[in-house]
Structure 1
């Protein structure tokens, strides 16, 4: 019987989305397209008499996480959890979903709960929706690639394009509250009307559709406008991270250009979804 288990889940950048509300949290979610990132979350789950949660993101340590604590309560287990990522929280990287997927995956293995992949994903998705942290990240992070989702819930992904192999450069200047956007009728009306209604054929098409969505949805902030304008001038393909005050761009010149505005995170498309990485006896 192991004393601790580590699991990893990739992150996810949503390029465009549309909310779909159904009678249950499991059915509620979003459709849209995004990139599953090689960078993500490693969750370490250790047996403990009481539940404690430590979150380390981009070097910042915080204590407690209502979604992760709820996940353990629903599993009827207590554990010490450490969720760690090189990316910042609340900035459009799908880290809330990744933390849940990694933590539940590790807890399932640690406590021999014999959950199926669908059961793990559904629990993570329901908690995401209940806490207003995301709508489609869990489904995307179950695998890698450039992802298109055409119906809500954990089985909404219809395609995973693995062709793009180049670097993805990202700048994050701070969070945009997902809860505020998806909870605002006015914001969601603009988002719904901006949705392009199709899947991208490749990375270039994804960035084009994402940028069109960002422009039409009214979510672009003044500082993001400045960065996107610089990318346009340099002919660097770029769009806004959904939902975060950030920009993602591709191409060999993207990192240098974005570095003029702040710290740049460079990653690639993930080849796989969430899974166990280490078991300690």
Structure 2
């Protein structure tokens, strides 16, 4: 049996971490955007005499310590008495560690595929397993619930899918420019002293956005948050300022990664491409906003 899932990449614009001893109650407030590019997961299940689970990233096998979250969700949802070969292939459109929710995408896609195959968990129950292990292993706090809902989302109550609360901003005509520039491990930031400042500025941004829930306000408060916390600085800030010159909305930093994002109108796309070429930035993505929930289905051989 071969199962295929797609989970959108998720950009966090700003956030307020909410820690809790119960990982299902932990999470984050904030806002972000789900992208039409993301993580494709293929899961193959074959019965056999021994239990083996194998995971590969972009076609290359990975050790358990390098995919601890995905291995953890697989081990939790697969029955203890199952014997056979399970192969999990995760393909990422964005580089790992750059702020696109890859660990959450891999975990969520894995657990949804296995839940689909085993028929023993609901969609939300499976998603809660992905959230739990994301929190326990400090992969992230709010990506899973955001990816479950899709769209341009506001997280108004922390927690796992089915527990936290997510709302969506209405929008028309925007595409997302994403410029991955470097890694910024989530764990490093969540374990640092800057968390208190993030909480203060994140709450301020959230209240402003909820009082006027428009994409224009989202980008304004996202930029203010990224600069006031000191997360957007140096070369990354200079690039953001250059991008601002050709767009009508401010660009900002992806939380948490050394990457830039912006919302574009159709008539701004070519100007943005030209600017990035002038800045010698070759890797960038222009995506649609993904407004659905993650997809999961049986995959037929030869299907495109």
So what's the TM-score if we normalise by structure 1?
A: 0.91
User: In structure 1, how many angstroms separate the alpha carbons of the residues matched to 2:273 and 2:155?
Assistant: 28
Contact persistence 1:47–1:80 (CA under 8 A)? yes
For residue 19 of structure 1, report the CA deviation from its aligned partner: 0.6
Contact 2:127-2:144 within 8 A present in 1 as well: yes
Q: Closer, same or farther in 2 for the Cα pair 1:108/1:158, shift >3 Å?
A: closer
| TM-fit CA distance, 1:257 | 2.4
Cα offset, 1:256, TM superposition: 3.1
Deviations 1:153-209 (A, max 9, x none): 12433311242332211111111010000111x120121121123235222111111
Shift of 1:28: 0.7
Report 1:41-60 matches (<5 A): 41-48=39-46, 49-56=51-58
Partner of 1:271: 291
Instruction: Kindly report which structure 2 residues correspond to 1:4-43, keeping only aligned pairs within 5 A, or say none.
Output: 4-43=2-41
Match status 1:88 vs 2:95? yes
Is the CA contact (8 Å cut-off) linking 2:227 and 2:233 kept in structure 1?
A: no
The answer as to 2:74 corresponding to 1:72 is yes
Mapped pair 1:240 → 2:253 = yes
User: How far apart in 1 are the matches of 2:174 and 2:27?
Assistant: 30
Q: Report the CA distance shift for 1:131/1:180 in structure 2 as closer, same or farther (over 3 A).
A: same
Q: Is the Cα contact below 8 Å between 1:25 and 1:129 reproduced in 2?
A: yes
Q: SS where residue 216 of structure 2 aligns?
A: helix
Determine the structure 1 residue equivalent to 2:190.
182
**Structure-1 residue corresponding to 2:201:** 194
Q: What stretches of structure 1 of length at least 5 have no aligned partner?
A: none
In the alignment, the residues of structure 2 paired with residue 217 and residue 62 of structure 1 have an alpha-carbon distance, to the nearest angstrom, of: 37
1:245 and 1:100, CA in 2 relative to 1: closer, same or farther beyond 3 A?
same
Query: Is the 8 Å Cα contact of residues 31 and 150 (structure 1) preserved in structure 2?
Result: yes
Q: Deviations over 1:240-268 (max 9, x none)?
A: 11111011112223333234233111101
Equivalent residue of 2:188, what SS?
helix
Partner SS, residue 176 of structure 1: coil
CA 1:175 to 1:164, structure 2 compared with 1: closer, same or farther past 3 Å?
A: farther
**Structure 1, residues 104-123: CA drift from partner, whole Å, max 9, x if none?**
1111112232x112211110
Residue by residue, what CA displacement relative to the aligned partner does 1:81-117 show, whole Å, maximum 9, x if unpaired? 001121111111111111111111111112232x112
The alpha-carbon distance between structure 1 residues 71 and 267, as it changes in their structure 2 partners (threshold 3 A), is same
**Corresponding residue of 1:169:** 177
User: In the alignment, which residue of structure 1 is the partner of 2:282?
Assistant: 262
Distance 2:294 2:221 in 1: 27
Tell me: CA distance 1:38–1:94, structure 2 relative to 1, closer, same or farther (3 Å): same
2:148 corresponds in structure 1 to 142
Per the alignment, in what secondary structure is the counterpart of residue 114 of structure 2?
Answer: helix
Distance 2:244 2:6 in 1: 35
Q: Distance in 2 between matches of 1:100 and 1:179?
A: 17
Distance 1:226 1:236 in 2: 17
Count of residues in Structure 1 that have an aligned counterpart in Structure 2: 274
Between 223-232 and 127-136, report the one with greater CA deviation.
223-232
**RMSD of aligned alpha carbons:** 1.9
Q: 1:225 to 1:61 in 2, by over 3 A?
A: farther
Structure label with greater radius of gyration: 2
- The question of whether the paired residues in 2 share the 8 Å contact of 1:164 and 1:203 is answered with no
Q: Report whether the alignment pairs 1:229 with 2:231.
A: no
